[in-house]
Amino acid sequence: MIGRYTLPDMGRVWSEARKYELWCQVETLVMEAHAEAGVVPEDALEAVRKAPAPTPEAVAEIEAVTQHDVIAFLSAWADNTEPREAAAYVHFGMTSSDLLDTALALQLVEASALLLEKADRLVAVLRDHALAHRATLRVGRTHGIHGEPDVWGHRVADLAYGVARSRDRIRRAREAVGVMAISGAVGTYSNIDPAVEQYVAAKLNLRAADVSTQVVLRDGISEWVSALAIMSTVLEAIALEVRHGQRTEVRELSEAFGKGQKGSSAMPHKKNPIVSERIAGMARIVRAQVVPVMEGIPLWHERDISHSSTERISLPDASISLDYLLNLTIRLIEGLVVDKDRMLANLESTGGLIYTSTVLLELVEMGLARDTEAYPLSQRAAMKTWETGRPFRETLREEAAAAGLTIDEARLDQVCRPERFVERLDGMFEKLADLR
């Protein structure tokens, strides 16, 4: 992922330097287990413990010759070990995937922690925004067309719960990727005691694979990337709501627009929803990683490395992108401008058409047959309002008179008011207040 979209903490998780630190940590723990069992000398363990992790530059120089990253790492680390002979016991009984998969599990757990912290913050921001707008009237839309009265807080509450559920998926997926293996070539423990695997797993707070071959089966990692993709798509839903709300014809919502900010190189009047559009674009990057990672589940027999090159790109890109997206969405909601007056004006702009469903039910209660009388009557009045712009109550009165019916105006006054449509949402908002 390019630096433009990489936040420092998540970038550090996926840096080459951090990877080699984790590789050193895993290899040292394996040596500790061997030393406790008397397999390797204690003085060799001490020498390796003191050896600093090799630099990415040192490893890259050796890998240019060996064409094998783990061997290059081991050689570069051996160069930092005094005496160098102690390094002979590093990687004792292991195979490359033991190191790679165990260290990768640590990276995935670290990345998950950063994502979950931001997700918690976003849930809180959305919850508080929804509660602040529990009485902010706006029109509810279906198919982009005015439906019935609603409140802005209702829409935001739905998105808040969507983010909370997505966060919980990532939390569960963190357990799915916290899996390691130290079982040697083909995973049969032929040159390493299973006790070593259990020792390292306990020290790293990871879970040993239920069945170890030579690689950890990629279903857990696929679950993790899928959880990230779902979260990114929920964030896009938030962004899409803002993008629609900021359209000139709607003007109910707008992103924060800072002093000195410019909207267009050609049109000075422009204030564009660029943050929301960036969220929509970056969400595609996260979703795009699901299939490539999932295709790492079927490998040839006990091992091939067709998954390796994919994961070097897809796992950092997915988590770095989502980390950036979460940060961006928090910023979006914290700075969101809600135009309550414009929301109310839009709600009233169709001359009362938003009350047709209520009128339909009232006509039924007056004794009209729904299909043959009440619906046709209210629809004829509604279509006349669409065509002429005259208020719906006026056209309804005319159509009723033409049909020989008298409308109870006082009764309609009671039911055709926007507040009545949202009174039953109080319980939902009370529950929302407890969302964490």
Out of 190, 264, 309, 349, the active site residue is 264
How many degrees, rounded to 5, is the angle at CA 290 between CA 287 and CA 294?
175
Q: How many CB atoms lie within 10 A of CB 190?
A: 10
Give the phi and the psi of residue 143 in degrees, each rounded to 5: 60, 20
Which residues in 27-59 are b (16+ Cβ under 10 Å) and which e?
bbbbbbbbbeeeebeeebbebbeebebbeeebb
* Active-site annotation holds for 143: yes
Measured distance CA(16)–CA(320) in Å, rounded: 15
Measured distance CA(35)–CA(256) in Å, rounded: 60
Structure tokens belonging to residue 30? 């394996």
Measured distance CA(376)–CA(371) in Å, rounded: 7
Three-state DSSP state, 235:
helix
Tell me whether strands 137-142 and 145-151 are parallel, antiparallel or unpaired. antiparallel
Alpha helix (H) ranges present in 303-370? 306-334, 340-348, 356-365
Out of 143, 265, 269, 301, the active site residue is 143
Structure tokens belonging to residue 354? 């938003």
**Contact present, 123 and 330 (Cβ < 8 Å):** no
For helices 306-334 and 96-132, the axis angle rounded to 10 degrees is: 20
How big is the chain by its Cα radius of gyration, in Å?
A: 31
Structure tokens belonging to residue 365? 């209660």
- Name every residue whose Cβ is closer than 8 Å to that of residue 236 and which is 6 or more positions away in sequence: 279, 280, 283
* Active-site annotation holds for 264: yes
Positions marked catalytic: 143, 264
